[in-house]
Amino acid sequence: MLAVKLVDESSKPVGSARAAVDVRRANQCKTAPLDDHIAMEVPVAMVYNGISHAVMMATPADLKDFALGFSLSEGILTDTAQLFNCDVKNVEHGLSIEMRIANSRLAALKQRRRNLTGRTGCGLCGTESLESAIRPVRNVTAPIVSDDAVQRALKMFPQHQALQAQTGASHGVAWCDLTGSIIKVREDVGRHNALDKLIGALLQAHTDLSQGFVLVSSRASYEMVHKSCAVDIGALVAVSAPTSLAIEQAAAAGQLLIGFAREGRHVIYNNPWE
C-alpha cells in the first residue's frame, strides 16, 4: 500500500496543498523507492446558514477565498458585503465551509434549489432543466490587451505555479495587469476551483478588474467564461483551447477570449474591439 503523510505532518488538512507518498519508480525494468509529492484533494462542503448547498472536490488551501469566489461566481451572492462570516471546519470525511449570508440571498438560494432539484454532478436532469443548463451570461467590458502582454504573462506563469511544479497535478489561474505582470495566483486540482479562489482573493483585495486579464492553465470552458463574466472580468486567456459554447458565451458577453496561448503564439477567438 502507499503510505501517505502530510508534508507539514499536521493531522488537519486545512491549508495543506500537498502530501508526501512513498512510491517505487520503474525505469527500464528497474525499480527504486523514493518519496513523491502529490496534490491534496478532499471533499469540501459549501454550507450557507446551516444548509449544505454543494460539495466540491478541492485542494484544501485558500478556502475562504474559495468560499467567496464560488458564492459570487455562482450568483449566490451579488456583493462581498452579503457574506457576514466564514469558518472552515474539519468534519468527518472532509471539510465544511460554513458561511453566514444575508437573509435575502438565502431566500434566493432556497428558491433556486427548488427550481433545480434535478441537478447532479453530471449536469441537469429533465427536459425542463435544459432551459436552466445555460444561464444568461453577464455583459462585460473587455480591456485592450496587447499581444506582448499575453506573451509576457505566459513566460512568467510557470514560476508562479509552485503546487504544479511540486506535484504535476494542479491547475493555475493568474491575475495579470495590462502590461502582462502577474499580480496574484491561485492553484487547485480543479480549474473551476482555482478560478473561484482567485476571484475571492481579488475581490477581498478590492482589485480593479477592469485593469487586467485572467490567465488559466487549462482549456476555456463555458463555466470559466461564465464565472469570470459574473464578476466583471472582461478578458480570459487560456493555455489550451476554448469550447464552442465558451466562444458563444464570450461573444454574447463582450469578453475578450484567447486560447492556445503558448510561447510565441496565441489565438484570439473573440475580440469585441475588432
Q: What is the pLDDT of residues 54-76, one digit of tens each?
A: 999 999 999 999 999 999 999 99
Annotated catalytic residue 229: no
Average pLDDT over residues 128-155: 89
- Separation CA 212–CA 149 (nearest Å): 10
Looking at CATH, the fold of the domain delimited by 147-270 is given as Cytidine Deaminase; domain 2 (3.40.140)
Output the CA angle 274-239-219, nearest 5 degrees.
95
pLDDT > 90 in the chain, percent: 75
- The pLDDT assigned to 117 comes to 42
Q: How many CB atoms lie within 10 A of CB 192?
A: 23
**133 contacts 157 by C-beta, under 8 angstroms:** no
Which among 163, 131, 142, 152 has a CA at the least distance from the CA of 215?
152
- The pLDDT assigned to 125 comes to 42
Specify the length of the chain in residues. Answer: 274
Q: What is the pTM of this model?
A: 0.87
Q: Is the pLDDT of residue 46 over 50?
A: yes
- Binding site residue list: 260-265
- The pLDDT assigned to 118 comes to 39
Domain ranges (residues) in the chain: 42-121, 147-270
pLDDT (tens digit per residue) in 166-203: 999 899 999 999 999 999 999 999 999 999 999 999 99
Q: Which residue has the higher pLDDT, 266 or 25?
A: 266
Q: Is the pLDDT of residue 129 over 90?
A: no
- The pLDDT assigned to 14 comes to 61
Q: Which residue has the higher pLDDT, 266 or 130?
A: 266
- Separation CA 67–CA 45 (nearest Å): 10
Q: Which residues of 150-177 are buried (b: 16+ CB within 10 A; e: fewer)?
A: bbbbbeebeebbebbebbebbbbbbbbb
- The pLDDT assigned to 172 comes to 97
Q: Is the pLDDT of residue 15 over 70?
A: no
- The pLDDT assigned to 119 comes to 38
Residue for cell digits 487560456?
A: 238
Average pLDDT over residues 200-225: 97
Q: Which residue has the higher pLDDT, 81 or 115?
A: 81
- The pLDDT assigned to 132 comes to 67
Compute CA distances 120 → 53, 54, 113, 126, 170, whole Å: 12, 10, 12, 11, 24
Q: Is the pLDDT of residue 165 over 50?
A: yes
Q: Which residue has the higher pLDDT, 144 or 10?
A: 144
Grid coordinates belonging to 31: 525499480
Span of 119-123, 168-172, 202-206 with lowest mean pLDDT: 119-123
Pick one of 3.10.20.10, 3.20.20.105, 3.40.50.2300, 3.40.50.2000 as the CATH number of 42-121.
Answer: 3.10.20.10
**215 contacts 237 by C-beta, under 8 angstroms:** yes
Mean pLDDT value across the chain: 88
Q: How many CB atoms lie within 10 A of CB 203?
A: 18
CA 109 to chain centre: 21
pLDDT (tens digit per residue) in 82-114: 999 999 999 999 999 999 999 999 999 998 876
Helix (H, G, I), strand (E, B) or coil at 261: strand
Q: Is the pLDDT of residue 13 over 70?
A: no
Residue for cell digits 476554448?
A: 242
What is the 3-state composition of the chain as percent helix, strand, coil, each rounded to the nearest 5?
30, 35, 35
Choose the catalytic residue: 29, 86, 122, 229: 122
